[in-house]
Amino acid sequence: MAKKGRVFSGARPTGRQHLGNYLGAIQNYVKLQDDYDCIYCIVDIHALTTMETTRDLKQNTIEMALDWLAAGIRPDESIMFIQSHVPEVMELHTMLSMVTPLGKLTDLPTFKEKVREQPNNVNYGLVGYPVLMAADIMLYKADFVPVGVDQAPHIEFTREIARSFNYRYGKNVLVEPQMKVTKVPKVLGIDGAQKMGKSLNNHIEIAATPEETQQRVMQMVTDPARIKRNDPGNPDVCNVFTMHKIFSSPEEIEMVNTECRRAGIGCVDCKKLYAKNLNAHLEPFRARRAEMAEHPQDVWDILEDGAKRARSIAQETMREVHDAIGLP
Ligand code: ADP
């Protein structure tokens, strides 16, 4: 069946993925494959803008690739590759930088946030981050980019660069990508307050063992007003209940909802049930992942093959770009 267009998405190699990545990105990646030609990129060059050391870069790359593949990215159908394996992106980044007003870059909220986060490392790459992102998207002539609302300004920015480039050089070479705003949940960490993330160490890795998973789940913060076992709880403010709604059966969700409110079920049993259901959901994923992890070379081969296919699209775009600019 003909697909509806090309999707591009990139994520920094952050190693083993957590439930936030899984529910917020990976599941969507997997689903999009049914309707679109998908290109999924592990953006290692982007990662350099914030990294203190590259010691774990390779390991983090393969761990993330394993998670993606085991979760259902189909490498024969989709293109999955490492950003630095297609060096044309750096070239397009340079070309695009010539049509990008500097003030626009320094005005972006994400840039200002990074400046606050790493005041001692406000590097040139950080300013150009959205230009490199634009290069990624346009190098592969992506029609759609799946994004959360926080990324919207970057895509709008990419569209502006495409327009500026096409106008400046008088040719319609670069495709203006469209945002594919996906309603993804903001997954909270085990602290029940902040967004799940590795840096906060409030995450649950999807490749963790069932025992590790249960242990992490048992640490989850529930309704803070429920102190004693016999206090009635409020599922509406409890992150464990939010997760039940994703991983438990309708009957279990109903049971937890009712019994929590009248203290019929305690937080310990409620968490045990969630851990059991989460582990059951992740079991097939973990089995596939363990099998693939035994043959890491196969994963590197998949990434290499992806890079080859990505590169042939990239080289074609670059020929058109050179031609449009009029480079001798
Ligand atoms: P990057 O900065 O490259 O996007 P992240 O690890 O921060 O790397 O995120 C990768 C993907 O996972 C993004 O699409 C992001 O929105 C999603 N994600 C990360 N953490 C969460 C979370 N707690 N809830 C929902 N989605 C999340």
Query: Residue 157: how many CB atoms within 10 A of its CB?
Result: 19
What's the domain range around 221?
208-290
159 and 227 belong to one structural domain? no
123 and 249 belong to one structural domain? no
What's the total number of domains in the chain?
Answer: 2
24 and 159 belong to one structural domain? yes
In a domain, 51, yes or no: yes
112 and 224 belong to one structural domain? no
In a domain, 28, yes or no: yes
Q: Which of 225-262 are b and which e, b meaning 16 or more Cβ less than 10 Å from the residue's Cβ?
A: ebeeeeeebebeebbbbbbbeebbeeebbebbeebbee
In a domain, 197, yes or no: no
Separation of alpha carbons 71 and 17, rounded Å: 11
- Sheet of 144-147, strands arranged across: 79-82, 37-42, 6-11, 144-147, 178-181
Pairing of strands 178-181, 79-82: unpaired
Residues of the chain predicted below pLDDT 70: 1
308 and 265 belong to one structural domain? no
In a domain, 245, yes or no: yes
Q: What is the pLDDT of residue 150?
A: 75
248 and 217 belong to one structural domain? yes
In a domain, 199, yes or no: no
Residue 5, Ramachandran bin (φ over 0: left; ψ between -120 and 50: alpha; else beta): left
Kindly give the distance from the C-alpha atom of residue 124 to the centroid of ligand 1, in angstroms, as a whole number.
Answer: 24
- CATH code of the domain containing 95: 3.40.50.620
In a domain, 171, yes or no: yes
76 and 154 belong to one structural domain? yes
Would you state the structure tokens that stand for residue 73, as one six-digit string? 């990215």
What is the per-residue pLDDT across 225-250, written as a single tens digit (0 to 9) for each? 998 898 999 999 999 999 999 999 99
281 and 180 belong to one structural domain? no
With the most atoms of ligand 1 within 8 angstroms of its CB, the residue from 17, 21, 28, 202 to mutate is 21
In a domain, 203, yes or no: no
Kindly give the distance from the C-alpha atom of residue 212 to the centroid of ligand 1, in angstroms, as a whole number.
Answer: 22
116 and 175 belong to one structural domain? yes
116 and 243 belong to one structural domain? no
244 and 99 belong to one structural domain? no
Kindly give the distance from the C-alpha atom of residue 49 to the centroid of ligand 1, in angstroms, as a whole number.
Answer: 17
Q: Cite the DSSP H helix spans in the chain.
A: 19-21, 27-32, 44-47, 57-71, 88-97, 102-107, 109-117, 124-139, 152-169, 210-218, 239-247, 250-261, 267-293, 296-325
Atom number, ligand 1, closest to the C-alpha of residue 14: 6
Pairing of strands 37-42, 144-147: unpaired
In a domain, 111, yes or no: yes
10 and 65 belong to one structural domain? yes
- CATH code of the domain containing 270: 1.10.240.10
Q: What is the pTM of this model?
A: 0.95
Atom number, ligand 1, closest to the C-alpha of residue 150: 16
Q: What is the pLDDT of residue 2?
A: 81
Q: What is the pLDDT of residue 156?
A: 92
Residues with CB under 6 A from ligand 1: 11-12, 14, 20-21, 24-25, 148, 184, 186-187, 195-197
Kindly give the distance from the C-alpha atom of residue 151 to the centroid of ligand 1, in angstroms, as a whole number.
Answer: 11
